[in-house]
């Protein structure tokens, strides 16, 4: 948490002092914007800047992406979002050069950036629609209005999504062959992405939930095998499920309806959740040390889960004939 807060404060500070570098920026809290709300002479006093940074971070003011940093990254990598074809091309290039840094860097750029991940594996008609919107709105992440993609075909009341589920699943299967090369990169990237998303949900939940691509993020991450990995269970998986349970009831209901349409994948999803519950139950039991039959303790939610797993464990080892 403190690492994330430090990163966000640094970004606000850079945004006020130097700006994002985009001359068309419309974020009034960014020095690059022609609508910059501050007297630029005030910014010469770093104490005043620091005070304003703290205020902006507490009010969740919009943050820009540094366009200079984006350009630098784009020169180093070849893809900013995933499709089955561009991943195959990228892997082929890595194999020819025996250099996997390009794949690692690409995964970092995609899985640490909400827009890049959400615009991966799009159905063709939605992909064209979003491409047109992106071209007409170069500051897609500068303000709350332009940060989100809306499409009248996608609402919380229906089960429509922009994700090409089959293409996404095929690509995730391909990625599994390269876990050794990308596992730690995916972990670091998801940590950044999910912490940022959790932060944004505090002030922009409605905009996020009505983003046409929003549910793609959960489906893509759910398809990753890493959620059941012990290295991911206590931070990445915890963040992921915490974010899901803090969505509106309408958004949670839509997510469940979407999952129900892919029945053949439910076993893998249930396994993720079972692993998470099991590990956290055991961790909780180890922390509190269950040596009592106190009704209050055992009727609590963690105690209840513990007892259920204890019963299941005994039945597994001593089945009833």
Q: Is residue 71 part of a domain?
A: no
For the ranges 92-101, 109-118, 157-166, the lowest mean pLDDT is seen at 92-101
Same-domain pairing of 107 and 132: yes
Two tokens at 70?
């984006």
* Nearest residue to 250 via CA among 163, 161, 157: 157
CB-based contacts of 38, cutoff 8 Å, min separation 6: 16, 52
Does residue 44 or residue 82 have the better pLDDT?
82
CB-based contacts of 168, cutoff 8 Å, min separation 6: 120, 121, 219, 220, 223
Mean pLDDT across the stretch 38-44? Answer: 74
State the pLDDT at residue 37: 82
CA–CA dist 126, 112 (Å, integer)? 22
Is the pLDDT assigned to residue 129 strictly greater than 90? no
pTM of the shown model: 0.62
pLDDT in tens, 84-98: 898 998 888 888 887
Q: What percent of the chain has pLDDT over 90?
A: 22
Q: Is residue 68 part of a domain?
A: no
Same-domain pairing of 29 and 120: no
State the pLDDT at residue 67: 55
CA–CA dist 199, 35 (Å, integer)? 25
CA–CA dist 112, 179 (Å, integer)? 17
Q: Is residue 131 part of a domain?
A: yes
Two tokens at 172?
């995730």
Q: How confident is the model at residue 290 (pLDDT cuts 50, 70, 90)?
A: very low
Same-domain pairing of 8 and 124: no
For the ranges 57-66, 80-89, 263-272, 297-306, the lowest mean pLDDT is seen at 297-306
Domain endpoint, select from 227, 245, 265: 265
Interhelix angle for 214-223 vs 249-260, to 10°?
A: 50
State the pLDDT at residue 50: 83
Q: Is residue 133 part of a domain?
A: yes
Same-domain pairing of 180 and 43: no
Same-domain pairing of 284 and 198: no
Is the pLDDT assigned to residue 186 strictly greater than 80? yes
Mean pLDDT across the stretch 226-247? Answer: 84
CA–CA dist 315, 313 (Å, integer)? 5
Same-domain pairing of 258 and 307: no
Same-domain pairing of 311 and 179: no
Q: Is residue 270 part of a domain?
A: no
Same-domain pairing of 19 and 92: no
Expressed as residue numbers, the domain containing 158 is: 77-265
Domain endpoint, select from 242, 265, 288: 265
Same-domain pairing of 253 and 299: no
Q: Is residue 239 part of a domain?
A: yes
For the ranges 48-52, 76-80, 89-93, 308-312, the lowest mean pLDDT is seen at 308-312
Is the pLDDT assigned to residue 254 strictly greater than 80? yes
Same-domain pairing of 118 and 254: yes
Same-domain pairing of 32 and 174: no
Total number of domains constituting the chain:
3
Is the pLDDT assigned to residue 214 strictly greater than 90? yes
CB-based contacts of 283, cutoff 8 Å, min separation 6: 234
Same-domain pairing of 107 and 177: yes
Q: Is residue 70 part of a domain?
A: no
Q: Is residue 241 part of a domain?
A: yes
CA–CA dist 117, 173 (Å, integer)? 17
């Amino acid at each position: 948490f403190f690492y994330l807060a430090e990163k966000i404060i640094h970004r606000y500070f850079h945004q006020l002092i130097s700006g994002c570098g985009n001359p068309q920026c419309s974020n009034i809290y960014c020095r690059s914007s022609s609508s910059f709300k501050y007297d630029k002479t005030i910014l010469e006093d770093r104490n005043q800047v620091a005070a304003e940074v703290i205020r902006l971070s507490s009010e969740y003011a919009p943050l820009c992406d540094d366009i200079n940093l984006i350009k630098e990254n784009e020169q180093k990598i070849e893809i900013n979002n995933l499709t089955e074809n561009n991943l195959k091309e990228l892997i082929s290039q890595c194999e020819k050069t025996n250099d996997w840094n390009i794949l690692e860097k690409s995964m970092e750029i995609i899985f640490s950036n909400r827009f890049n991940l959400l615009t991966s594996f799009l159905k063709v008609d939605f992909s064209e629609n979003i491409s047109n919107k992106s071209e007409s709105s170069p500051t897609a992440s500068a303000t709350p209005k332009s940060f989100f993609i809306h499409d009248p075909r996608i609402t919380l009341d229906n089960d429509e999504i922009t994700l090409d589920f089959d293409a996404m699943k095929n690509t995730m299967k391909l990625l599994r062959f390269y876990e050794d090369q990308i596992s730690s990169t995916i972990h670091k990237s998801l940590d950044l992405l999910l912490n940022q998303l959790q932060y944004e949900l505090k002030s922009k939940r409605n905009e996020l939930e009505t983003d046409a691509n929003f549910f793609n993020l959960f489906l893509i991450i759910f398809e990753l095998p890493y959620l059941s990995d012990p290295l991911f269970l206590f931070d990445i998986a915890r963040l992921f499920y915490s974010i899901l349970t803090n969505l509106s009831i309408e958004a949670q209901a839509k997510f469940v309806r979407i999952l129900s349409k892919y029945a053949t994948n439910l076993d893998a999803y249930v396994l993720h959740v079972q692993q998470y519950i099991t590990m956290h139950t055991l961790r909780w039991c180890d922390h509190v040390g269950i040596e009592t039959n106190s009704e209050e303790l055992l009727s609590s939610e963690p105690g209840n889960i513990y007892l259920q797993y204890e019963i299941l464990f005994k039945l597994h080892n001593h089945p009833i004939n």
